[in-house]
Amino acid sequence: MAGPWVLGIESSCDDTAAAVVDPDGRIQGDVISGQDALHADYGGVVPELASREHLAHVRQVVEQAMAQAGVPLSKLDGIAVTVGPGLIGSLLVGVSFARALGFASSKPVIGVNHLEGHMFAPFVGSPEPEFPFVALVVSGGHTSLYVVEALGRYRVLGATRDDAAGEAFDKVAKLLGLGYPGGAHVDRLARDGNPGAVAFPRAMLAKGGYDFSFSGLKTAVRYHLERAGATVAHADVAASFQEAVVDVLVAKTLKAANEYRVARILVSGGVAANTVLRQRFEGACRRAGYRLAVPAARFCTDNGAMIGWVGWQRIKHGLGSTGLCVRPRLAL
């Protein structure tokens, strides 16, 4: 049975993005307009500037995605849009735009949870996910572990008690004098460093169940830099910090897969773009006999395709919407 044509719109943080999903679940148009340069001077996303920028670009981004796909508005079966979690002003731009577009074209609009988008990003472009799996969602705002039995059936095993993994990458990048967002910079710098150079703490590795904590690690990096002063090799610090984050993420995720007896592991969100994280998960899953799914690099960080794809699944299987109210603190 042919599935629907769906337009996906994402504006929860600082990327304005849109994509078109065809009846087979493939991505036909995919446009992202980022704001890194705008926020770089502030070392983080400035919400007021982000929403203004979304407003300036959303129409053009959607039109470009539709043009790439070569489908007219009349051919769409639905419009999927991120309703949360995220920055309220940013979310409002995407949701208002989607609702107006749906009203003008008499197309249904369905709300999608941003975290659900990230979670299923490894399946973007393919027709169906394979259940069950353990999912690690690691982004700038979230670090959570789930057991997933079906789309919409999530059991939260644990989450970060303080900073998200991506947030820790961004803060450490700032300490090292690197640009924003910091994850990719730390990733690059760490290639020239020794991951065993500094023994940074692995918080809650043995205890704490499936919860995480990364703020102590960030503080340990700061103290180390202050103590060592000019003599310290920044590449070694970056590599050692990254190793500490990856150790904890890999260990807890594999422990969960073992305890909940699933054969498949998914890792997604912006931090899933990290080179060492991907290598370590690949090695650990191969040795322990788990099947690993990670998104293509482009679909790790925020994008419209993951939102469109979840909307496509929801429409195809009659699963309905997450609602159309903007929900900055929406959980999964």
State yes or no: residue 303 binds Zn ion (CB under 5 A): no
Binding residue (CB under 6 A) for ligand KG4 from 148, 265, 273, 306: 273
Alpha-carbon distances, residue 174 vs 41, 42, 46, 242, 302 (angstroms)? 11, 11, 16, 14, 21
With respect to ligand KG4, which residue has the nearer C-beta, 61 or 315?
A: 61
Binding residue (CB under 6 A) for ligand KG4 from 270, 295, 304, 308: 270
Residues 34-73: x where in contact with ligand KG4 by CB under 6 A, - otherwise, as a string: ----------------------------------------
Assigned token pair, 205: 């590795």
Q: How far is the CB of 141 from ligand KG4 (least distance, A)?
A: 4
> In the window 190-249, what residues touch Zn ion (CB under 5 A)?
none
With respect to ligand KG4, which residue has the nearer C-beta, 25 or 270?
A: 270
State yes or no: residue 90 binds Zn ion (CB under 5 A): no
With respect to ligand KG4, which residue has the nearer C-beta, 101 or 178?
A: 178
State yes or no: residue 181 binds ligand KG4 (CB under 6 A): yes
Binding residue (CB under 6 A) for ligand KG4 from 4, 117, 183, 295: 183
State yes or no: residue 13 binds ligand KG4 (CB under 6 A): yes
For the chain, what is the HEC assignment? CCCCCEEEEECCCCEEEEEEECCCCCEEEEEEEECHHHHHCCCCCCHHHHHHHHHHHHHHHHHHHHHHHCCCHHHCCEEEEEEECCCHHHHHHHHHHHHHHHHHHCCCEEEEEHHHHHHHHHHCCCCCCCCCEEEEEECCCCEEEEEEEECCEEEEEEEECCCCHHHHHHHHHHHCCCCCCCHHHHHHHHCCCCCCCCCCCCCCCCCCCCCECCHHHHHHHHHHHHHHHHHCCHHHHHHHHHHHHHHHHHHHHHHHHHHCCCCEEEEECHHHHCHHHHHHHHHHHHHHCCEEECCCHHHCCCCHHHHHHHHHHHHHCCCCCCCCCCCCCCCC
> In the window 136-195, what residues touch Zn ion (CB under 5 A)?
139
Judge contact between 148 and 119, C-beta under 8 A.
Answer: yes
State yes or no: residue 182 binds ligand KG4 (CB under 6 A): yes
Of 54-62, 139-147, 229-237, 253-261: span binding ligand KG4 (CB under 6 A): 139-147
> In the window 109-138, what residues touch ligand KG4 (CB under 6 A)?
118
Q: How far is the CB of 139 from Zn ion (least distance, A)?
A: 4
State yes or no: residue 271 binds ligand KG4 (CB under 6 A): yes
With respect to ligand KG4, which residue has the nearer C-beta, 6 or 277?
A: 277
Binding residue (CB under 6 A) for ligand KG4 from 274, 313, 321, 322: 274
Burial 41-61 (b: 16+ CB within 10 A, else e): eeebbbbeebbbbbbebbeeb
Would you tell me how many other CB atoms lie within 10 Å of the CB of residue 72?
9
Distance in angstroms (rounded) separating the CA atoms of residues 104 and 282? 47
State yes or no: residue 163 binds ligand KG4 (CB under 6 A): no
Binding residue (CB under 6 A) for ligand KG4 from 53, 116, 187, 236: 187
State yes or no: residue 84 binds ligand KG4 (CB under 6 A): no
Q: How far is the CB of 221 from Zn ion (least distance, A)?
A: 24
Binding residue (CB under 5 A) for Zn ion from 271, 272, 302, 332: 302
- Which chain residues interact with Zn ion by CB under 5 A? 139, 302
- Which chain residues interact with ligand KG4 by CB under 6 A? 13, 118, 139-141, 166, 169-170, 181-184, 187, 269-271, 273-274, 301-302
